[in-house]
Amino acid sequence: MFDKVLIANRGEIALRIQRACKELGIATVAVHSTADADAMHVRLADESVCIGPPAAAESYLNIPRLLAACEITGADAVHPGYGFLSENARFAEILETHNITFIGPTSEHIRTMGDKIAAKETAKRLGIPVVPGSDGAVKSDAAGLKVAKAMGFPVLVKAASGGGGRGMKVAKTAEELPMALATAKAEAKAAFGDDAVYIEKYLTKPRHIEVQVLGDGQGNAVHLGERDCSLQRRHQKVWEEAPSPALNETSRLKIGEIVANAMRKLKYRGAGTVEFLYEDGEFYFIEMNTRLQVEHPVTEAITGIDLVLEQIRVASGAKLMYSQEDITFSGHAIECRINAENARTFTPSPGQITYWHPPGGLGVRVDSGVYQGYRIPPYYDSLIGKLIVHGKSRDECMMRLKRALSEFVIDGIETTIPLFNDLIRQPDIANGLYDIHWLEKYLAKPTA
């Protein structure tokens, strides 16, 4: 096992990783920018290193500075958290050449899944159902038209280096396709320096359902069920829950087993998420995330498994502690992302938290990196906390969520809490009847 882990992140996830390290008896190193000198992750770490100015490119994303921090402190492993360098294959590679363990998958697996065309080909080869579409990159309008006509419109043009919805264009008809291809290519070139695009059948009203996996890189892997992350705004998740209100036991275990088998064949190491669109009872692979995700606590709530602790264990070379039969699912969990933003406009609201009273009680978890008196800097993501509620049934979970939201007091800044107070009162949300477009439609209504 590692003696000392450097956490290449900030905020609530840095605290989450520190907690797992502490339980394993591992010393922790925090890194921080000058804007984060007063941050909770710095206060709670055993050691800390200031790695640069506020701009992430010069601090949390700066590989030479992170290497220097490892060298100074003698850290033997790095946990990247989510965002920042968590899916940077080069970072994983560089750490390995310096004999520092990257707590995550191999650089090769990160690189494959980062290329959406290669990811889809890999998924297909491993027996995972994918969205019908072009065989790899589309090299010309004529080639694009041929595939699109064969599967029927509407189609979606996607960037190979994309993800998060950037460089995506819908073509409703053959006439619209050349423009969609050109625009997607231009956007992809500008955003990722790579203009490779591919075509998929456009699913008009799917849900976003993702399967959590855990592997040890030695051929053992388990699935930990799914999360429904359909409630999003501009590709930012707002609310995540497990299990998905749209699935039954049979379909859950079927897709879970397909994904777990694929990860066994791949010899995947660490935590990963296989993302699907789910429409009319069918699953369609879209992407795989090779990192711990923001919404991992809903899976922890229903399985009782500490995902971060398992990531650290398998990174140190240990075999997976669980076989699939050991994994049981219990009850229902919902996560609400608490952002320092206006709940209607989503305008960021940095500033000082003058009062902070998080909820508690049975089935309530709050993961946050802030405290009363803390000044939220304007330079980073606006996520300040996550409220995760667990209950025996979805109804009990909703009841607890309503109660927990009523206890939560955050003064001095605007937060997204009022949005959740509205959402829990919507019949569609109470009934679990929503797709990936539900939230944006709701927010566009004048009454919302």
Catalytic-labelled residue, pool 291, 313, 394, 400: 291
| Distance of alpha carbon 308 from alpha carbon 177, whole angstroms | 44
Q: Does 203 bind ligand MV4 (CB under 6 A)?
A: yes
Instruction: Name which position in 76, 187, 200, 310 contacts ligand MV4 (CB under 6 A).
Output: 200
Q: Which is nearer to ligand MV4, 32 or 208 (CB)?
A: 208
CB of 116 to ligand MV4, least distance (A): 9
Structure tokens at 289: 């995330």
Question: Does 39 interact with ligand MV4 (rule: CB under 6 A)?
Answer: no
Q: Which two tokens stand for residue 415?
A: 């937060």
DSSP assignment letter at 175: G
> Which candidate, 307, 277, 281, places its Cα nearest to that of 294?
307
**Residue of 131, 307, 320, 439 interacting with ligand MV4 (CB under 6 A):** 131
**Burial readout 203-222 (b: 16 or more C-beta within 10 A, e: otherwise):** beebbbbbbbbbbbbeebbb
- CB atoms closer than 10 angstroms to residue 421: 16
291 included as an active-site residue: yes
Instruction: Name which of 64, 17, 60, 20 is nearest 36 in CA terms.
Output: 60
- Choice from 232, 289, 311, 349 touching ligand MV4 (CB under 6 A): 232
- Give, as ranges, the residues between 244 and 263 that touch ligand MV4 (CB under 6 A): none
Q: Which of 195, 143, 151 is nearest to 169 (CA)?
A: 195
Specify the 3-state DSSP secondary structure of 289: strand
Residues 44, 46, 49: CA angle, nearest 5 degrees: 95
Site string for ligand MV4, 50-79 (x = CB under 6 A): ------------------------------
- Within residues 156-175, the interface with ligand MV4 by CB under 6 A covers 156, 163, 165
Is residue 202 part of the contact set for ligand MV4 (CB under 6 A)? yes
Contacting range for ligand MV4; rule: CB under 6 A; set: 184-192, 196-204, 323-331, 422-430 = 196-204
* Residue number, 79 or 208, with CB nearest to ligand MV4: 208
Residue closer to ligand MV4, measured from CB, 208 or 390: 208
Positions in the binding site for ligand MV4 (CB under 6 A): 131, 156, 163, 165, 200-203, 208, 232, 235, 277, 286-287, 436
